[in-house]
Amino acid sequence: MNLKEITLRHLKMRMKSPFSTSFGTIQDKEFILLEAKDESGNIGWGESVAFYSPWYTEETLKTNWHMLEDFLIPAILNKEIQHPDEVSDIFSSIRKNNMAKSTIEGAIWDLYSQEKGISLAKALGGEKNKIEVGISIGIQNTVDDLLNLIDEYVAEGYKRMKVKIKPGWDIEVLREIRKHFPNVPLMADANSAYRLKDIDHLRKLDEFELMMIEQPLASDDFIDHAKLQKEISTPVCLDESIHSYVDTRMAIEMGSCKIINIKIGRIGGLTESKRIHDLCQKHNIPVWCGGMLEAGIGRTHNIALTSLSNFVLPGDTAGSSRYWERDIIDPEVIVEDGYINVPDVPGIGYEPNTETIKTFTVFEKTFS
């Protein structure tokens, strides 16, 4: 395969309801959508998960656009590619910028699976034909609002509830949740809101039988996460800390966590995600697929990846209607009884809707 033309689009989509974390609130999701055409005219799609501002990682929509326009697209156009695993070599002289790299790599995996006439899930080595879906709920104004949402999502069949916590919105909130929902599979995500000095406070989490506490401490602190994990029985899951296979090896060897959240963009693509999946499987570390409030394209890539066998915990890839009035793919992603079916047709298995994409496009540029 040989990429002949790439179009970048800056999209802006209003979320049905704002999403709040310990860092702030998102109401409008702005992101880059990438369309890549090969020499036969086949089209592959990629979606950047970088947010508009750098609260989750240092990458943003604008840094991604800059990396794509000035470095990554020039490096990949007209290069002969036999397999998507070669993309990391092509980009090896460009440091980090994982979300930008992943945007192109995703489109190449899409094209590759179309070329082979198999689903993206099969191309990645996926084995499941349906995946379990959990839901991530942002910080709410009141505990009652949160309880009402959990009630609604339990009734919709979601397989686990993830709630965001931060100092002042944690132990009491979880206690209330457990009072009303003693048996619901529950986890908490702190997005690095604590430090090791909070260990006595974090120990109190153990009474709630959480599936895990996600990213309690600083994103670059493997040592303190290891110290914390030794002191609490709740499994620690790392999200922001994990950017690569090497980070994963470090976390496993140091005992910094018992579970890993794989986000394709944060890790730099599907190839690296697969390597991390395999490494975790070897070490009996369960993984799950994190979400980045993706629109349809990113969502389909998450579904394909989650079909790999060590994704044994429900992920954050909920249905399109949880986020959008209208998603950019047909059909939209649908959750039934807490499951999403993994498509078994060539490529991502959903059709990007070019008309809808146009309505959300703020700016676009084509490179050839």
Binding-site residue ranges: 189, 214, 239
List the single partner that 318 binds among Mg ion, ligand 164, none, CB under 5 to 8 Å by kind: ligand 164
Cα separation of the two ends of the chain: 15
Q: Which residues contact 13 (CB under 8 A, 6 or more apart)?
A: 28, 29, 30, 295, 324, 328, 360
Q: How far is CA 344 from the centre of its chain?
A: 21
Please state, in angstroms and rounded to a whole number, the distance separating the CA atoms of residues 366 and 342.
Answer: 31
Q: Which residues contact 8 (CB under 8 A, 6 or more apart)?
A: 32, 33, 34, 65, 68, 69, 73, 364, 365, 366, 367
**Can you tell me which of 72, 318, 340, 357 binds ligand 164, judged by CB under 6 A?**
318
- Has 12 been annotated as catalytic? no
**Can you tell me which of 35, 189, 294, 316 binds Mg ion, judged by CB under 5 A?**
189
| Cβ–Cβ under 8 Å, residues 10 and 44 | no
| Cβ–Cβ under 8 Å, residues 283 and 316 | no
- Among residues 68 and 137, whose Cβ is nearest to Mg ion? 137
Please state, in angstroms and rounded to a whole number, the distance separating the CA atoms of residues 125 and 105.
Answer: 17
List the single partner that 347 binds among ligand 164, Mg ion, none, CB under 5 to 8 Å by kind: none
- Among residues 16 and 175, whose Cβ is nearest to ligand 164? 16
191 scored as a contact of ligand 164 (CB under 6 A): yes
- Among residues 291 and 347, whose Cβ is nearest to ligand 164? 291
- Among residues 47 and 239, whose Cβ is nearest to Mg ion? 239
**Can you tell me which of 38, 239, 247, 294 binds Mg ion, judged by CB under 5 A?**
239
Beta bridge partners of 352: 329
Stretch that binds ligand 164, among 219-227, 250-258, 285-293, 332-340 (CB under 6 A): 285-293
Q: How far is CA 220 from the centre of its chain?
A: 19
Stretch that binds ligand 164, among 98-106, 109-117, 165-173, 291-299 (CB under 6 A): 291-299
The mark string for 127-166 relative to ligand 164 (x by CB under 6 A, - otherwise) is: ---------x------------------------------
Instruction: Tell me whether strands 236-238 and 213-214 are parallel, antiparallel or unpaired.
Output: parallel
| Cβ–Cβ under 8 Å, residues 315 and 131 | yes
45 scored as a contact of ligand 164 (CB under 6 A): no
- Has 263 been annotated as catalytic? yes
**Can you tell me which of 84, 290, 343, 352 binds ligand 164, judged by CB under 6 A?**
290
316 scored as a contact of ligand 164 (CB under 6 A): yes
Please state, in angstroms and rounded to a whole number, the distance separating the CA atoms of residues 221 and 241.
Answer: 8
List the single partner that 105 binds among ligand 164, Mg ion, none, CB under 5 to 8 Å by kind: none
CB atoms within 10 A of CB 74: 11
56 scored as a contact of ligand 164 (CB under 6 A): yes
316 scored as a contact of Mg ion (CB under 5 A): no
Minimum distance between the CB of residue 124 and Mg ion, rounded to whole angstroms? 22
DSSP per position, 131-158: EEB-EEE---SSHHHHHHHHHHHHHHT-
The residue behind tokens 């020499």 is 39
Catalytic residue among 29, 159, 263, 274: 263
Stretch that binds ligand 164, among 35-43, 180-188, 287-295, 303-311 (CB under 6 A): 287-295
- Among residues 98 and 113, whose Cβ is nearest to ligand 164? 98
Chain positions contacting Mg ion, by CB under 5 A: 189, 214, 239
Residues that bind ligand 164 (CB under 6 A): 21, 56, 136, 189, 191, 239, 290-293, 316, 318
